[in-house]
A and B are shown apart, each in its own frame.
Chain A
């Protein structure tokens, strides 16, 4: 297994455009998380799925943001009507909730620049 992958790695878009990011978790992992990281800060939680169910959303996730995980495999994060404040690194992580294992494995991230 090659780990968590994210696509694209970089995205530059103009304010007001919609963007969609994809995350492919480690294949047997049942939980998938999205975080956002801005310069000089630690990652902040956005939302997470257990299988295909979205179990928690942060207050940071405005109604312009939507995430899906159809069939409990890959996930997409869409941002509508992007704003300059959306510029950040978007990180995806996955984990297998089993026994005492709680380790989250992170992907390389998608860096979004809104101009």
Chain B
């Protein structure tokens, strides 16, 4: 069975500062990795995904993530955040094409 741990429940950061949201996973098989964002009262939107190939993945809104197989991590980063990035971010894993297993989420609070 797969599981996902998001190490920080909340991350406060000032506008224009860099941010890293941490995600670790466990699985006995190869998985695909995803980051989703959820704005208040909205559904989940895919930020980026890792299926194979380059371990550095670029997504929408200037976010990127790096897959580290040895550390079983898939941390999300952005070099300079904006107020509009305030939202909840979910890391998820999936065996090929099947159900997503989500972490508990990290609330990113961007302060001016």
| Most chain B Cβ neighbours within 10 Å, of A42, A91, A104 | A42
Contacting pair A107 B43 (CB below 8 A): yes
Given the known inter-chain contacts A4-B43, A43-B90, A106-B43, please indicate yes or no for A56 contacting B49, CB distance below 8 A.
no
Residues of B in contact with A, size category: 20 to 34
Contacting pair A45 B101 (CB below 8 A): yes
Given the known inter-chain contacts A42-B90, A42-B103, A48-B99, please indicate yes or no for A102 contacting B32, CB distance below 8 A.
yes
Contacting pair A106 B105 (CB below 8 A): no
The interface bits of chain B over 91-102 (1 if a CB of A lies within 8 angstroms of the residue's CB, else 0) are 010101111111
Residue A75, interface by CB 8 Å? no
Residue B56, interface by CB 8 Å? no
Interface size on A, residues (CB 8 A): 25
Contacting pair B44 A95 (CB below 8 A): no
Contacting pair B44 A43 (CB below 8 A): yes
Of the residues B42, B45, B96, contact of A102 by C-beta under 8 Å = B96
Contacting pair B104 A91 (CB below 8 A): no
Contacting pair A102 B99 (CB below 8 A): no
Given the known inter-chain contacts A41-B104, A44-B102, A102-B32, please indicate yes or no for A95 contacting B97, CB distance below 8 A.
yes
- 29 residue pairs of the A-B complex, CB under 8 angstroms, read A4-B43, A33-B100, A35-B100, A41-B105, A42-B4, A42-B90, A42-B102, A42-B104, A42-B105, A43-B100, A44-B102, A56-B98, A56-B99, A91-B43, A97-B97, A100-B51, A102-B49, A102-B51, A102-B94, A102-B96, A102-B97, A103-B46, A103-B49, A104-B100, A106-B36, A107-B43, A108-B42, A108-B43, A109-B43
Interface residues of A (CB under 8 A from B): 4, 31, 33, 35, 40-45, 48, 56, 91, 93, 95, 97, 100, 102-109
**Smallest CB-CB A-B distances: 8 pairs:** A42-B102, A106-B44, A45-B99, A106-B43, A108-B43, A102-B97, A43-B102, A42-B90
